[in-house]
Homo-oligomer: A and B are copies of this chain.
Amino acid sequence: MREGPDIALIGALIGDPARANMLTALMSGKALTASELALEGGVTAQTASSHLTRLESAGLIARRRQGRHSYFTLGDAEVGDLLEAMMGLAAKRGHLRTRTGPKDPALRKARVCYNHLAGEKGVRMFDSLMAAGYLIEREELTLTRVGEEFMTDLGIDLDRLSSPRRPLCKSCLDWSARRSHLAGALGEALLDHFIDTGWARREVGSRIVRFTRVGEVAFDRLFPVAEAA
């Protein structure tokens, strides 16, 4: 093993795509479980476990065991600041887009994040719900009265979703768009809804969500987005 300054250790930790995705997911500030992070990182649970152990022992993340779950958060605010700074640099020099495989555009457009919709479509839905006043962000993300009506009209049974353990609404940071999208029981129910109605279907063996022609039109009409005035 060669000698290197400490920044190499940190850099190498952040430098692995799986770990970088996990860390990015944690930038939302919410605690995530090991399996959620495995999905975010695009790796299996075993692999994720080893990554998480390494990140923890370097202090980049913190682990809190609760029952049979392990919840992870960023180590402290300074870690978040560092990641933010790196994103800033990366964005500035954004001309190095290599390896844009054919899968990429589809993944960026719509994909599954754990069990809910992520990607451009997910962000669009979130923005639209916020703009319409259906969702508001207080301490937690909550569905307003009119929002409840909207969901019920869609055919979503909110009563069945409510659970003392699992939050109805959660925001989740989108790594490709770096914007929030909707997670939680409602986020899951909505994605299921889109699948059930045939607006979209999941591509087997990948995280891609493919919208049908009519599905996309209906989706975009249902979740309008304010154009520049």
Q: Does A94 contact B (CB under 8 A)?
A: yes
Question: What chain B residues lie within 8 Å of A6 (beta carbons)?
Answer: 86-87, 90-91, 94, 96-97
Q: Does A141 contact B (CB under 8 A)?
A: no
Q: Does A137 contact B (CB under 8 A)?
A: no
The A interface, classified by DSSP as helix, strand, loop or mixed, is helix
Which among A8-16, A115-123, A149-157, A182-190 touches the partner chain?
A8-16
Whether A81 pairs with B85 at a CB distance below 8 angstroms is: yes
Q: Does A215 contact B (CB under 8 A)?
A: no
Question: What chain B residues lie within 8 Å of A86 (beta carbons)?
Answer: 6-7, 10-11, 82
Q: How many copies does the complex hold?
A: 2
Contact string, A1-37, partner B, CB cutoff 8 A, digits 1/0?
A: 1111111111111111111110110000000000000
Question: What chain B residues lie within 8 Å of A14 (beta carbons)?
Answer: 7-8, 10-11, 15
Q: Does A131 contact B (CB under 8 A)?
A: no
Q: Which of B10, B90, B92 contacts A90 (CB 8 A)?
A: B10
Q: Does A107 contact B (CB under 8 A)?
A: yes
Query: A5-B24, A9-B15 are known contacts; what are 19 more A-B pairs with Cβ within 8 Å?
Result: A2-B18, A3-B101, A4-B21, A5-B21, A6-B97, A7-B24, A8-B15, A8-B20, A10-B14, A10-B86, A11-B11, A11-B16, A12-B15, A59-B89, A59-B92, A78-B85, A81-B85, A82-B82, A82-B89
Q: Which residues of A contact B (CB under 8 A)?
A: 1-21, 23-24, 42, 57-60, 78-79, 81-83, 85-94, 96-97, 99, 101, 103-104, 107, 175-176
